[in-house]
A and B are shown apart, each in its own frame.
Chain A
């Protein structure tokens, strides 16, 4: 993509606007690179995985997490305040009878601090439009076939509110350490488009 004609044209326009803003004192030398680095260092699915594993092994933490996620993740040294504004976080947990999945129908709201940069499919009109109409069908396309009697709840994120899913702890993991458990958790599991 970076080599095609339209991408080259917009890259040139972006460079032009950057130069204009530097000239007008609205952009410091080196600021763009610094902010890109900050963004990329600002979040990772490893954070969401760590929260999940801790909730699996500590029932009291799980309860606090579901009641007030912003406060609970601070116990693990994490925060939703790293972006442009502090975001309210609600964490929902899958059970044998209920599955949760997250979307932002209006655009792309997402807990970047806990999941890292969002995948393109999450931001696509295709996902945003369909997951609220036919969540079961969309999850099936992602390879997640849920029993017909599993209730599915779709959470629509907004400018002020972000959501994260705690997947179900897989069976046969009783002997695993918390770090090993965290290693099982994927970004899609934390969005709700995978089992774990």
Chain B
């Protein structure tokens, strides 16, 4: 069974947009999310396949509305909670 990330061949998405002189990151937090993920995988908190899975099992509506690095951050916090590193409340700063 395919999940929402399996978009190959789907119709209905908007046009492809090319950004001239695109930077590697569009905001500092995006770079931080990338680095945070690398740090956690290197430490063995979770592995790369678990990370991909955590993105791919996002609820479809959330997946489709999230930006690329928002998906990453969602996956990171999902896994930190599931691995018992911190509670969802702690991660949310509540």
Cβ of B56: which chain A residues have Cβ within 8 Å of it?
106-107
Chain A residues lying within 8 Å of B70, measured Cβ to Cβ, are 10
Asked if B38 and A126 make an inter-chain contact with CB atoms under 8 angstroms apart, the answer reads no
* Nearest A-chain residue to B6, judged by Cβ: A106
CB within 8 Å of B: which A100-118 residues: 103, 105-108, 116-117
B62 on interface, CB distance cutoff 8 Å: no
Knowing A40-B24, A120-B19, A125-B7, the reply to whether A18 touches B36 (Cβ < 8 A) is: yes
Interface size on A, residues (CB 8 A): 50
Which residues of chain A come closer than 8 Å to B43, judged between CB atoms? 26
- Other-chain residue from A1, A13, A18, A121 in contact with B18 (beta carbon distance below 8 A): A121
Residue A35 at the chain B interface, CB threshold 8 Å:
yes
Q: Is the CB of B90 within 8 A of A20?
A: yes
18 contacts between A and B (CB under 8 A): A1-B26, A2-B26, A10-B73, A11-B28, A14-B29, A14-B33, A21-B36, A24-B85, A27-B39, A31-B39, A35-B35, A119-B22, A121-B19, A123-B68, A124-B17, A126-B17, A127-B16, A159-B48
Chain A residues engaging chain B, CB cutoff 8 angstroms: 1-2, 7, 10-11, 13-18, 20-21, 24, 26-27, 31-33, 35-36, 39-40, 84-85, 103, 105-108, 116-117, 119-121, 123-130, 132-133, 138, 141-142, 156, 159
